[in-house]
Amino acid sequence: MRMKFNKSSQLLLVSAASLLVASLVTACGTLTVDFVFVASSKAAGANNYGEIDVFEINSESGQMRQISTSPFPSGGRDPVAEAVPSDNNNLYVVNQDDNTIVQFVIGNDGKLYPQNTVNTPGIYPLAVAVNGTNLFVVDTYQPLPSCSTAAPCSGSVAVFPITPTSSTPPSDVLGTPVANGSLNYWPLSLPARPNDVIVPTAIDALKSGADIYITAYDSSVTLNVGYVFGFSVGSGGALTPLNGGAPFPAGNYPSAIASDPSSTYVYVTDFTNGNVLGYSVASGLLTPLAGSPFPAGDRPAAIVVDPAYPFVYVANSLDSTVTAYSSSNGALTSLGTYSTGTQPVALGIDPSTNHFLFTANYLGNGVVGTVSGFELNPTAGTLVNSQNSPYISNAQPTAVAAIPHGSSGKSSSGSSQ
- Domain with residue 35: its CATH number is 2.130.10.10
Yes or no: say if 309 and 378 are a contact pair by the CB < 8 Å rule.
yes
pLDDT of residue 416: 52
In a domain, 6, yes or no: no
pLDDT at 10 over 90: no
Which candidate, 323, 283, 266, places its Cα nearest to that of 299? 323
> Is the bond leading into 390 cis (omega within 30 degrees of zero)?
yes
Which pLDDT score, from 0 to 100, does residue 102 have?
96
Q: Nearest-5° angle of CA 263, CA 156, CA 346?
A: 55
Residues with Cβ within 8 Å of residue 364, at least 6 apart in sequence: 341, 342, 370, 390, 392, 393, 395, 397
Greatest mean pLDDT among 4-8, 20-24, 296-300:
296-300
What's the CA gap between 223 and 201, in Å, rounded?
17
DSSP category for residue 221: S
* 206: in domain: yes
Q: How far apart are CA 266 and CA 214, in angstroms?
A: 11
> Domain range for residue 279?
16-404
With respect to residue 417, please indicate whether it lies within any of the assigned structural domains.
no
Q: Which residue has the higher pLDDT, 45 or 166?
A: 166
Query: Which of 154-168, 183-197, 246-260 has the largest mean confidence?
Result: 246-260
pLDDT value of residue 15: 34
104-161 pLDDT tens trace: 999 989 999 999 999 999 999 999 999 989 999 999 999 877 776 677 889 999 999 9
Give the pLDDT mean for 38-62. Answer: 84
DSSP structure string for 104-135: EEEPTTS-EEEEEEEE-SSEEEEEEEEETTEE
Please state the rounded mean pLDDT for residues 91-107.
Answer: 95
Q: What pairing do the DSSP bridges indicate for beta strands 254-259 and 265-270? A: antiparallel
pLDDT at 31: 86
Q: Would you say 322 and 344 are in contact if contact means Cβ atoms under 8 Å apart?
A: yes
Q: How far is CA 114 from CA 43, 93, 105, 142, in A?
A: 18, 10, 6, 27
Contact 227, 233 (CB under 8 A): no
Asked whether the predicted pLDDT for residue 412 surpasses 70, the reply is no
What pLDDT band is residue 240 in, cutting at 50, 70 and 90? very high
**Alpha-carbon span 369 to 386, nearest angstrom:** 17
In single-letter form, the type of residue at position 408 comes to S
- The whole-number pLDDT of residue 333 equals 98
Give a yes or no: residue 22 inside a domain.
Answer: yes
**Residue pLDDT, tens place only, 348-398:** 999 999 999 999 999 987 778 999 999 999 999 999 999 999 999 999 999
- Total domains present in the chain: 1
Residue 336 has pLDDT above 90, yes or no: yes
d(CA 144, CA 142): 6
Is residue 345 within 8 Å of 360, Cβ to Cβ? yes
pLDDT at 348: 96
The CA distance from 18 to 21, in Å, is 5
Residue 407 has pLDDT above 70, yes or no: no
Report if residue 5 sits inside a domain: no
User: What is the b/e burial string over 227-251, where b = at least 16 CB atoms within 10 angstroms of the residue's CB?
Assistant: bbbbbebeeebebebbeeeebbebb
pLDDT at 251 over 70: yes
Residue 413 lies in a domain: no
351: in domain: yes
Of 44-58, 63-77, 353-367, which one has max mean pLDDT?
63-77
Decide if 331 is inside a domain: yes
Most confident of 92-96, 139-143, 221-225: 92-96
Identify whether the C-beta of residue 252 lies closer than 8 Å to the C-beta of residue 216: no
pLDDT band at 41 (very low <50, low <70, confident <90, very high): confident
